[in-house]
Amino acid sequence: MTNHWVDIKNADLILVMGGNAAEAHPCGFKWVVEAKAHRKAKLVVVDPRFTRSAAVSDFYAPIRAGSDIAFLGGVIRYLLANDKIHHEYVKAFTNAAFLIDEGFQFEDGLFSGYDAAKRKYDTATWQYQLDGQGFVKIDETLQSPNCVFQIMKRHYARYTPEVVSQVTGTPQADFLKICELIAETAAPDRTMTICYALGWTQHTVGSQNIRTMAMIQLLLGNLGMAGGGINALRGHANVQGITDQCLYSEVLPGYLSAPADADKTREEYLAKRTPKPLRPNQMNFPQNFPKWHTSLMKAWYGSAATAENGFCYDWLPKKDAAYDVLALFERMHQGKMNGFVCQGFNPLASAPHKAKVAAALAKLKFLVVIDPLATETAEFWKNYGEFNPADPAAIQTEVFRLPSTCFAEQDGSFTNSGRVIQWHWKAADGPGEAMSDLDIMAGLFARLRALYAQDGGAFPDPVLGLAWPYRIPRQPHPEEVAMEINGKALADVTDPKDPSKVLAKAGEQLAGFAQLRDDGSTASGNWIYCGMWSQAGNLTARRDPADLSGLGQTPNWGFAWPANRRILYNRASCDLAGKPWDASRAVIKWDGAKWGGNDIPDMRPDAKPEEGVMPFIMNPEGVARLFAPERMVDGPLPEHYEPFETPLDGNPMHPNNPQAVSNPAARIYPGDLESFAKARDFPYVATTYRLVEHFHFWTKHALLNAITQPQQFVEIGEELAREKGIANGDRVRVRSTRGQIVAVAVVTKRLRALEVDGRKIHTVGMPIHWGFRGVTHPGYLTNTLTPFVGDANSQTPEFKAFLVNIEKA
């Protein structure tokens, strides 16, 4: 979330789309209810299903799963065509006036630079036009055909209400009503917030779904405002924190892009990641990359990391390919992996195409599962009849199952969706011999390190040299680790403006990332968390609920990264002179000498408004990107593409281009494209979702939750039920090209047939919570059915729109 849970109460309009907060995040949804009750805010819900969020909305519209960009692109067109944008904001705070390379083109569904054989774009023509000093050329009048504003206007002109309705199935009148409500928030003192979740991410156009919405929020001037922002309602209690610790191959803690084969030396590596400002006077905050990276190396490799050896740059593994969860299972399936460790993760249930995942696991030499609960993954080899028809004798994988403690049985911090880090305390020991994840990792590492010390082996240096300063090496205390994440001064850290002034003495905890240095004099395990444990102690343990602003900021409850800032980009909540757009919800303001107010300013505190330092400090251009010259592999502007399993014959926006049916830059593994279903055999759109009574594959182990939703079911609309002769309560078989499940049919008014591209489209709703372990009735893992393909940018699997057939069992 750019904002935070309580801040939802400050919104005038709440859009819930690509999510269902009332059921998936009930206690956060109370702030939607609060906004409705006390601000007279309106709630709009767009979803294929009439959810419980929809049930309390002021306006609900149905949409075909997988067509969100068509809908949102239509909103952009509406805002531009009806001049419902926040002009001053758009002109100053976005790249609307920036000029793009004259070679940029969009034709018949493809952007310039497409290589069909590689399914990749060359982004050379998506770049800014630069002047002699390396700054982007701009056209203040917004009239140049090559400026972002005009390119965007042309691009979305095609998304008329007629086309939107044709592609999404949303009735035109409903769509226009929602456009009107959204357009009202273009007023400087009105804001809209958007609450989305997996309903937007689990698509092959997932990242672009979210980008489209971000563009709308920018056009309306809603980013940086109290009650505004782009708010991802995330999954687990610490999914944000684990994302921040970056347990994925392409980044190091704090979103530091990990080195790849091409980054041969530390100098080359740092140079590529340390941008130059693209406009005069901008903060260009990533220019500090070397400080963050060097401090991480000091936290990891301690005294072994010296300026002479490039702070052990060579010790870091260099990435040569994709290693995301889909790539990982593909490699495993191809027999390229020998070992695999699952820590608190149940991929047999949560990764797509269960049969492929099970076959891949069976090719391993060894599998280690660390979990508090008996998961399906740990027993992929065991025969559970129709639910898991495995033959143990044929599976040679050696499987270890290690019991870990759960949240209640350990100290530590979790980061909520609003970036607030909160410490929690242990209430009891775990059952039996259960150990914490920390102790298990430390135990395994201690054993490995001893083996390398004793016998040597492949490149033992980083194994032996890894900094391990914990009092009890096999049991690092969570507090010690939290202090390491924050970081400390290794030598006195002085003020660059006045070297006689010591900001942090050697050995002291650092107060924030501004104190990090690139000369090895500071260590910090995660720069964005720097400040969580300063000399003042553990700030994540603070429990003062005082809210003096009335905005719900509670600055002394826990610690929000970065820098305890509660609303990101909050400089954008003020006009160019530093005056809040809405004085009644002022986040910060310029007081004549400095920035300050109800939040930590997302701006250099002494940056005078007339200096023109723009709010989006993490971009070298200082402004937000309506047009993205980099980072998006599938286009600088979002475009509607069909799901890889589409119920239509093609992409109605590009009916004559077979290359532009589905995301042209999504990664497809050999053999998978042919395995995707065709609508003639599998005519119904399936979409997976969650219930209020359950949490993923976890609560099926808890009796109370199992009692409230004991048995697997699927939802279908009344019309489809009639066509298929299915009655409420009948058992039905749902098939995809990858497998089948059997479940009880719930016939409902919540899912209705939609008119799409001249035909009727039915949706089958599939809650995901059952499996062959737990205290519910045994059920099928729904990922038996889902396709093995992910978002072009994030590789998040497409669970929200695929094809099935259904019949009475």
Residues 6+ apart with CB under 8 A from 45: 15, 16, 17, 51, 53, 54, 57, 59, 60, 61
Nearer to other proteins, 185 or 776 (CB): 776
DSSP string across 698-744: TGGGSHHHHHHS-S-EEEEEHHHHHHHTPPTT-EEEEEETTEEEEEE
**582 near other proteins, rule: CB under 8 A:** no
Among 171, 286, 443, 710, binds other proteins (CB under 8 A): 443
Kindly state the number of chain residues that form the binding site for other proteins, as judged by CB under 8 A: 163
**444 near other proteins, rule: CB under 8 A:** yes
Tokens representing 102 are 């004259």
Which element (helix H / strand E) includes 269?
Answer: helix 266-273
Residues 476-495 that bind other proteins (CB under 8 A): 476, 478, 481-482, 484-485
Nearer to other proteins, 406 or 744 (CB): 406
Provide the mask over 6-45, with x wherever binding to other proteins is found by CB under 8 A and - wherever it is not.
x-----------------xxxxx-xx--------------
Residues 186-205 that bind other proteins (CB under 8 A): 202
Among 795, 798, 800, 803, binds other proteins (CB under 8 A): 795
User: Which CA distances in Å does 380 have to 21, 294, 387, 430, 696?
Assistant: 32, 42, 11, 25, 18
Residues 358-397 that bind other proteins (CB under 8 A): 365-366, 368, 370-374, 381-383, 392-397
Tokens 């591209």 appear where?
A: 757
Nearer to other proteins, 194 or 442 (CB): 442
Q: Comparing C-alpha atoms, which of 52, 42, 43 is closest to residue 20?
A: 52
Backbone Cα Rg of the chain: 27
First to last CA, the chain: 43
Provide the mask over 201-240, with x wherever binding to other proteins is found by CB under 8 A and - wherever it is not.
-x------------------------------xxxxxxxx
Residues 713-752 that bind other proteins (CB under 8 A): none
Among 3, 736, 796, 805, binds other proteins (CB under 8 A): 796
| Least Cβ distance, residue 447 to other proteins (angstroms) | 4
| Least Cβ distance, residue 741 to other proteins (angstroms) | 19
Nearer to other proteins, 15 or 21 (CB): 21
What is the number of other CB atoms lying within 10 angstroms of the CB of residue 103? 12
Nearer to other proteins, 168 or 350 (CB): 350
**341 near other proteins, rule: CB under 8 A:** yes
Residues 6+ apart with CB under 8 A from 346: 371, 375, 376, 377, 697
Tokens 């372990």 appear where?
A: 773
Q: Which stretch binds other proteins (CB under 8 A): 284-292, 474-482, 623-631, 740-748?
A: 474-482
Q: How far apart are CA 684 and CA 354, in angstroms?
A: 20
**606 near other proteins, rule: CB under 8 A:** no
**549 near other proteins, rule: CB under 8 A:** no
**798 near other proteins, rule: CB under 8 A:** no
SS3 120: strand
**436 near other proteins, rule: CB under 8 A:** yes
Tokens representing 103 are 């070679």
Give phi and psi for 431, each to the nearest 5.
Answer: -75, 150
Tokens representing 626 are 């309506």
Nearer to other proteins, 418 or 620 (CB): 418
Tokens representing 314 are 């060579």
Among 212, 410, 712, 737, binds other proteins (CB under 8 A): 410
Residues 497-526 that bind other proteins (CB under 8 A): 525-526
Among 83, 140, 308, 320, binds other proteins (CB under 8 A): 320
Q: How far apart are CA 196 and CA 777, in angstroms?
A: 31
Provide the mask over 242-281, with x wherever binding to other proteins is found by CB under 8 A and - wherever it is not.
xxxxxxxx--xx-------x--x-----------------
| Least Cβ distance, residue 468 to other proteins (angstroms) | 9
Give phi and psi for 181, each to the nearest 5.
Answer: -65, -45
